[in-house]
Amino acid sequence: MAKHLTGKDIVVLVNLIDAWEGKLGWDALCDAVGPLIGGRPTRQTLSSHHQVKFAFRYKKEQIKSGVITTQRPASLSIATQRIKRLESENERLKFENGRLLEQFIKWQYNAYRHGVGRVKLDAALPTIDRDSSELRD
């Protein structure tokens, strides 16, 4: 049976993809992440999560563009890996932020087009009555 992924598992997966070196494929990713999350997930399980699929696609494009790895001594090698992972994560997050801004602009236009004003859009969320299930006197 396929392993269900938790939020923590997805963070581990995305970090693994960001730090990936060499040829990247779904099977290789499934094999590499298995020991980290306590079971080998299927390709379908991984690709069903938007963050994982996006990070995978972004890393594949990055690999195709020809990122060059450098040989360093052991202590610098660890630092280099961390820097590369952080730079990759930063680029992915910038791209994702751009996509979210585009979506916001689309929503903003559609709200304007349908006559939803700023006052309605900025209205506070309703409060949640957490005691609603209790009996009242």
pTM for the full model?
0.55
Give pairs for 102-111: CB < 8 Å, separation 24+.
none
> What is the predicted pLDDT for the residue at 68?
58
Closest listed residue to residue 29, CA positions, set 19, 18, 43, 39? 43
pLDDT by 10s per residue, the chain, length 137: 556 888 899 989 998 998 888 889 999 999 999 898 888 899 999 989 989 999 999 899 888 887 655 555 568 888 888 889 889 999 999 999 999 999 999 999 999 999 998 889 889 989 888 776 655 55
pLDDT score at 4: 80
pLDDT for 100: 93
Tokens linked to 55: 């990070």
Q: Which two structure tokens, joined as six digits, stand for 137?
A: 């006197």
Q: Which helix (H) or strand (E) holds 99?
A: helix 74-113
